[in-house]
Structure 1
Amino acid sequence: MGESRKGLFQQFSAQDWHGFRKGLEKEGLRVDQDGFIAQTPHPEALGSTLTHDRITTDYSESLLELITPVCDSTGSLLASLAETHRFVQANLGDEVLWSGSMPCRLDGDASIPIAVYGSSNSGQLRHVYRRGLDVRYGRMMQSIAGVHYNFSLPERFWTRWQSLLGDERSLQDFKSDQYFWLIRNFRRRSWLLMLLFGASPALDASFVEGVSHRLKRFSDDTWIGECATSLRMGDLGYHNNAQASLDICFNELRTYTDTLYRAIHTPWPPYEKIGQRNAEGEFIQINTNVLQIENEYYSAVRPKRTTQRGEKPIQALRSRGVEYVEVRCLDLDPFEPVGIGATQIDFLDLFLLDCLLSDSEVIGDEECSRLDGSYKDVVGKGRKADLQICFDGSLTPVRDAALSLLDRLQGLAERLDAFNGGEKNYQNALAAQRSAVTEPGNTRSDRVLAAMETAGQGHLAWTLDQSRAHQGQLREDGLDDATRTAYEKMAADSIAAQKELEASDRVSFEEYLKAYLKD
């Protein structure tokens, strides 16, 4: 079989190594002073949600999404995210940016305003897609927030890596193949991220009002998953019964895009019954198929390619291959002012690189089922002391399995630190995760429940206090005049760009949608 991939990576020198490319998309609800979801429109001072590169909304008008540019270091990435947070916090008035993944206090679907993006055809498409999510699943699960981590390696890495592997395909095909290699191993190991970083074991009672569940009462206004690490990623969070039949294949680019394409073009009777328009003739879904668009498919990881104007994600992947991998299963860290910290990011880089460097056979149906089961078990029962998962072919206590994976990362952490002048960022990040596994009560979910218990507070009061503390710190840090002016210009430019887009439309939305749905 030849030299192992990790052995080949040993041939990289410090001069060959150019680090990682990374970006973040961080969501967070705007809430009022009482911890109720904000009913106000997106603040005008933040710019246009349709055309701003860094500040937009996700599902709800109240659900901010803050986006970083692509950065080449953890420090620059967090500095960018912190800058955007400081600008946002300075323009929220009396409102607060919620620090938890599970939402604040809600009053049913009607309390969650769907995001609006203006009158342009592209803006209306975004809005109709969200109306489709509403009629299909309701709005409650769309109020959940998380952080997405975008990971890639620079072009110079890929040319060197391709040479070492002796691969003679086009660089585009080689990169796509290697990113799917990484994704297959990510699927085998993603349960570890839920054990370490799941941070949503509790929720406000308003989220499950009138809903059957198996949660345990923590206080009058709070329910918890007794052994859960992430309610966000469990049955009460992101789920879609229609998608159970999709069998999306993550083995290679072609099978992935083909199965996803089929889902977007397969009618689903319950959605057909709802119809594409309501009685008033308004569009309430983009289509009546299993998926309206690719983004509707919920998964812990996605292969991605930046789209061009008017281009669909599948088209971009098929024509130009995989550009980066998006990790989507991460809860907000309520202990961090911007929802994620440097140690976690460094560990993610180490974890993802090892997914690329380890053997990665194609995943068959039987293994796929086992992987889904292990992931679900850790999400729902990861804090259970005697939980066992299928690992390396046998049932293994989850903490033993976690330590085994972490031990495998030690040599790679040392090598990456050597590339970076001997700093121990990666070894320290790895040590922090070891302590989370070996020391009782040290995972994120354990710490959240312990903090609530110590404070004598439920989910709402504790998270609101955390949110206010983060807001106070970020406002105190503030922005220098030049940076604030730059953000004000970005906001003004985005508003102008939206108006220009609205003025440039030459066809009706109905015609625009018809053209969009064509392959």
Structure 2
Amino acid sequence: MAAFSEYPEALKGIGRGVEREALRITPEGTLSSAAHPTALGSALTHQWITTDFAEQLLEFITPVTYSVSDMLTQLQDIHRFTYRELGGESLWPLSMPCYVANEDDITLAQYGTSNVGTMKTLYRQGLKHRYGSVMQVISGVHFNFSFPDSFWQQKFGEQTPYARQESVSDAYFGLIRNYYRFGWMIPYLFGASPALCGSFIKQTNTNLDFKVLGKGTYYLPYATSLRLSDLGYTNSAQSGLKIGFNSLEQYLEGVRTAIQTPSADFAKIGVKDATGYRQLNANVLQIENELYAPIRPKRVAKSGEKPSEALDRGGVEYIEVRSLDVNPFSPTGIDENQAYFLDLFLTWSVMSDSEPMTDCELQCWHQNWNKVVMEGRKPGLTLQIGCDGEQLTQVEWGHRVFADLAKLAVVMDKAYGGDKYQAVCRELVTWFDNPDKTLSARLLRDVVEQESIGTVGLAIAKQNAELYAQGEYHLVSEAQFREEAQASLKKQQDVEQGDAISFDQYLAEYFGDSVSL
């Protein structure tokens, strides 16, 4: 860190973006049955507002910005416009779903009649058959993050373009390995799904020893993020995959193998029947997006390019943090303190030593994560340091990491001005000694007091609706939102009219020889 202490300006220019998912709900707190609102434009081509798995599952996307304030303000503008077009509906403010009476109440996201739109819906059809729809409407927040050229110049000095590309990719994979080692702190601090609606339990198989409140709220006393547990957004079929993070080449080889490996279980579903397609293929992964991971290496893909092809072409451009629960105490699902902490943590992760990771070590980190998401606030909880069996209490480990983060925070504040990074460090480190400050503890207190997660979620949703019914736009105007909505509808129409081949041929060309349909 010495070089950056002398030249803190090299840390300026961090790029950030947020993707926030949220279910549309009725005034009664149940899942909306309405289609994606036309006033919000085309979910296929809108640059800021789309859908994820279901018609009812909105996804908001901010463009890359270089200021935490601008990123969150853009997200507020998107929320403000959306709320004003929902016609009395609101957004469920929690990661785990609201009451879902029947899985068939969840409507697969629709993207029009084009080949690319049909493929997006069919991919979701495959997810439904493979894992069930209820798991797919769990919501989260994804944080996209990249370092500026000035950072890499300070870290590596002068290099040829190809050498720089390789160095940057290697550095990002070092970050990813450290994220697996130390990222359990994120669900500890910011996990916000310690409880869930009984309707979710009824549609999943679990033998967990849940406590029950009222008429149907289930919780675990020390859980932080059930969303990240085996109960939530995971995939047991992928547990045997050996996807390593020691290099870009190793990672791509693992992903490609998973896409090309047939699954006996998924073959039972069938790819096609008399009514049409049931899934894209019967392999372990239909496409790369099906790989569930708490963090992903990414590069913006060119038209028609697969994510792995983009990475192979240009190396890692940014990383996507995928382990954030929706923050119920922020109307946008993420707050300023979380963003500043992630800046710090990810920068520390890339600047710290990061040795290659064995399968044994990776399994060790998976076990640590699982302990934290299931019982992260349990007094005296210990975690494994590595494969040799050494243990350390979560509290002690948290203090060790924050001692480093505090030093980096001084440099970050020199770069950006002010005291934001140091203030976040001073506050969050106290959460290890006082777990009642964590988001999961705060939410669980409210749920236990009300004896209903539905009551708590609906009350927050109503507060947020009232908030966004008022106030002004700041970075994106209402006129710009309406223009984008109309332009997206026109773009979808152009895509549909531009199709010149059948869907069967489109799929065959998309997959080439990589999968068997």
Output the amino acid matched with 2:109.
Answer: A
**Residue of structure 2 in register with 1:205 after alignment:** 198
Please tell me whether the aligned partners of residues 167 and 174 of structure 1 are also in contact (alpha carbons under 8 angstroms).
Answer: no
5 Å-filtered alignment, 1:165-176, equals: 170-176=163-169
Distance of 2:427 and 2:65 partners within structure 1: 24
Distance of 2:236 and 2:439 partners within structure 1: 29
Give the C-alpha shift of residue 440 in structure 1.
4.2
Give the C-alpha shift of residue 160 in structure 1.
2.6
Pairing partner for 1:114 from 108, 116, 121 = 108
SS at match of 2:487: helix
Residue 195, structure 1, aligned to residue 188, structure 2: yes
Residue 413, structure 1, aligned to residue 409, structure 2: yes
Give the C-alpha shift of residue 418 in structure 1.
1.4
Pairing partner for 2:447 from 444, 447, 452 = 452
Distance of 1:482 and 1:115 partners within structure 2: 26
Please tell me whether the aligned partners of residues 4 and 11 of structure 2 are also in contact (alpha carbons under 8 angstroms).
Answer: no
Distance of 1:468 and 1:213 partners within structure 2: 34
Distance of 1:411 and 1:481 partners within structure 2: 33
Distance of 1:353 and 1:220 partners within structure 2: 45
Pairing partner for 1:262 from 234, 238, 257 = 257
Please tell me whether the aligned partners of residues 58 and 115 of structure 1 are also in contact (alpha carbons under 8 angstroms).
Answer: yes
Percent identical among aligned pairs is 39
Give the C-alpha shift of residue 155 in structure 1.
1.8
Output the amino acid matched with 2:267.
Answer: E
Distance of 2:65 and 2:137 partners within structure 1: 28
Please tell me whether the aligned partners of residues 436 and 442 of structure 2 are also in contact (alpha carbons under 8 angstroms).
Answer: yes
5 Å-filtered alignment, 1:139-150, equals: 139-150=133-144
SS at match of 1:105: coil
**Residue of structure 2 in register with 1:3 after alignment:** none
Residue 68, structure 1, aligned to residue 62, structure 2: yes
Pairing partner for 1:512 from 485, 506, 510 = 506
SS at match of 1:396: strand
Task: Return closer, same or farther for 1:10/1:457 CA change in 2, 3 Å cut-off.
Answer: same
Give the C-alpha shift of residue 219 in structure 1.
2.4
**Residue of structure 1 in register with 2:218 after alignment:** 223
Distance of 1:81 and 1:155 partners within structure 2: 26
Identify which range, 474-483 or 391-400, moves more after superposition. 474-483
SS at match of 1:476: coil
Please tell me whether the aligned partners of residues 102 and 200 of structure 1 are also in contact (alpha carbons under 8 angstroms).
Answer: yes
Distance of 2:303 and 2:227 partners within structure 1: 32
**Residue of structure 1 in register with 2:339 after alignment:** 345
Output the amino acid matched with 1:321.
Answer: G
SS at match of 1:245: coil
**Residue of structure 2 in register with 1:356 after alignment:** 350
Give the C-alpha shift of residue 220 in structure 1.
1.7
| Offset from partner CA, 1:470-490 (integer Å, 9 cap, x none) | 121122124379800110000
Distance of 2:416 and 2:153 partners within structure 1: 21
Residue 395, structure 1, aligned to residue 419, structure 2: no
Pairing partner for 2:467 from 455, 473, 482 = 473
Distance of 1:90 and 1:469 partners within structure 2: 14
Please tell me whether the aligned partners of residues 98 and 467 of structure 1 are also in contact (alpha carbons under 8 angstroms).
Answer: yes
| Offset from partner CA, 1:183-212 (integer Å, 9 cap, x none) | 111110111111001000010111111643
Task: Return closer, same or farther for 1:482/1:247 CA change in 2, 3 Å cut-off.
Answer: closer
Distance of 1:152 and 1:435 partners within structure 2: 28
The TM-score with structure 1 as length reference comes to 0.95
**Residue of structure 2 in register with 1:125 after alignment:** 119
SS at match of 1:441: helix
**Residue of structure 2 in register with 1:88 after alignment:** 82
Output the amino acid matched with 2:407.
Answer: G
Output the amino acid matched with 2:45.
Answer: T
SS at match of 1:150: strand
Distance of 1:226 and 1:438 partners within structure 2: 17
Output the amino acid matched with 2:260.
Answer: H
**Residue of structure 2 in register with 1:246 after alignment:** 241
Identify which range, 482-491 or 85-94, moves more after superposition. 482-491
Output the amino acid matched with 2:166.
Answer: D
Any gaps of 5 or more consecutive residues in structure 2?
Answer: none
Output the amino acid matched with 2:373.
Answer: V
Task: Return closer, same or farther for 1:169/1:515 CA change in 2, 3 Å cut-off.
Answer: closer
| Offset from partner CA, 1:104-131 (integer Å, 9 cap, x none) | 0102321111101000000001000000
Give the C-alpha shift of residue 457 in structure 1.
4.0
**Residue of structure 1 in register with 2:311 after alignment:** 317
Task: Return closer, same or farther for 1:482/1:373 CA change in 2, 3 Å cut-off.
Answer: closer
Give the C-alpha shift of residue 402 in structure 1.
1.2
Distance of 1:403 and 1:169 partners within structure 2: 39
**Residue of structure 1 in register with 2:422 after alignment:** 427
SS at match of 2:145: strand
Please tell me whether the aligned partners of residues 144 and 237 of structure 1 are also in contact (alpha carbons under 8 angstroms).
Answer: yes
Give the C-alpha shift of residue 242 in structure 1.
1.5
SS at match of 1:477: coil
Please tell me whether the aligned partners of residues 8 and 412 of structure 2 are also in contact (alpha carbons under 8 angstroms).
Answer: no
5 Å-filtered alignment, 1:4-43, equals: 6-14=1-9, 16-43=10-37
SS at match of 1:28: strand
**Residue of structure 1 in register with 2:280 after alignment:** 286
Residue 305, structure 1, aligned to residue 299, structure 2: yes
| Offset from partner CA, 1:378-426 (integer Å, 9 cap, x none) | 01110111211113772112122112111111110011111223x1100
Give the C-alpha shift of residue 279 in structure 1.
2.8
SS at match of 2:332: coil
| Offset from partner CA, 1:147-177 (integer Å, 9 cap, x none) | 000010112222232118x899622111111
Task: Return closer, same or farther for 1:40/1:269 CA change in 2, 3 Å cut-off.
Answer: same
Output the amino acid matched with 1:509.
Answer: F
Q: How many residues align?
A: 509
Distance of 2:475 and 2:71 partners within structure 1: 21
**Residue of structure 2 in register with 1:329 after alignment:** 323
Identify which range, 97-106 or 365-374, moves more after superposition. 365-374
Task: Return closer, same or farther for 1:480/1:336 CA change in 2, 3 Å cut-off.
Answer: closer
Distance of 1:473 and 1:233 partners within structure 2: 30
Please tell me whether the aligned partners of residues 391 and 401 of structure 1 are also in contact (alpha carbons under 8 angstroms).
Answer: no
Give the C-alpha shift of residue 492 in structure 1.
0.3
Pairing partner for 2:179 from 165, 168, 186 = 186
Please tell me whether the aligned partners of residues 202 and 231 of structure 1 are also in contact (alpha carbons under 8 angstroms).
Answer: yes
CA RMSD of aligned residues (A): 1.6
Give the C-alpha shift of residue 141 in structure 1.
0.4
SS at match of 1:267: coil
SS at match of 1:308: coil
Please tell me whether the aligned partners of residues 337 and 471 of structure 1 are also in contact (alpha carbons under 8 angstroms).
Answer: no
| Offset from partner CA, 1:219-252 (integer Å, 9 cap, x none) | 2220002211001001110121210111111111
Distance of 1:364 and 1:462 partners within structure 2: 43
5 Å-filtered alignment, 1:45-60, equals: 45-60=39-54
Residue 499, structure 1, aligned to residue 493, structure 2: yes
